[in-house]
Amino acid sequence: MFVLVNLKTYDCDPVAVATAAAEVAERTDARLAVAPPTTAVERVARTGVETWAQEVDPIAAGSNTGHTLAESVADAGAVGTLLNHSERRRTLADIDGGIRAAERAGLETVVCANDPRQVGAAAALGPDAVAVEPPELIGTGTPVSAAEPAIVEDAVSAAAEIDPEVAVLCGAGISTGEDVVAAADLGAEGVLLASGVAKADDPRAALEALVAPL
């Protein structure tokens, strides 16, 4: 089971969270990764935890200002990137360009999508995984696996119909080990979460609780 923690720009210490995640990862069979803000990617990668970028742009090296180059985050230690998070929506063309840029840099990709229909469209672009995240549930503590389990099941079916090699992650409202198990029971191969760890009083305890049932 893949557990990807997006730290967004929450007021937390990304290195402290990453250090805790690296230690928890050593004691579980789950695959645990952290996506810090871009400026913290290198520092987080030094902790030894699997490190992801929160976004890369559909660009090549050249005259680009204010963009994130896939090769730059790869050089900093990232092994993957999120694309099209609900807080950073992209056009279909830009998602495709982001996937190609990530491939060029040797990064894995998780494309976020609102619903099963968007999951199918994203899967057709050939990412490594798609995360289904109804925006209205993000940050609520109410997991999509409980509020709308059919969305997860339909997302898994939509991705499989287009490309069985594209994994489906479950996002939005994930915060407990029970949520992770429920996502797995619905066919998801991983979860994408943020505030359940980034805003926790004790991120290490939150991470341990997430992977304990696995």
Residues 74 and 109: beta-carbon distance below 8 Å: no
DSSP secondary structure letters along 131-145 = EE--GGGTTSS--HH
133, 136, 153, 208: which one is catalytic? Answer: 133
23, 55, 71, 85: which one is catalytic? Answer: 85
Question: How buried is 163 (Cβ within 10 angstroms: 0-12 exposed, 13-18 middle, 19+ buried)?
Answer: middle
Is 85 in the active site? yes
Strand stretches in the chain, DSSP E: 2-6, 31-35, 50-53, 80-83, 108-113, 129-132, 167-171, 190-193
Orientation angle between helical segments 116-123 and 149-162, nearest 10 degrees: 20
Is 42 in the active site? no
Residues 107 and 77: beta-carbon distance below 8 Å: no
The rounded distance, in Å, linking the Cα atoms of 131 and 153 is 12
Residues 24 and 211: beta-carbon distance below 8 Å: yes
Q: Give the amino acid at 132.
A: V
Could you give the residue numbers annotated as active site? 85, 133
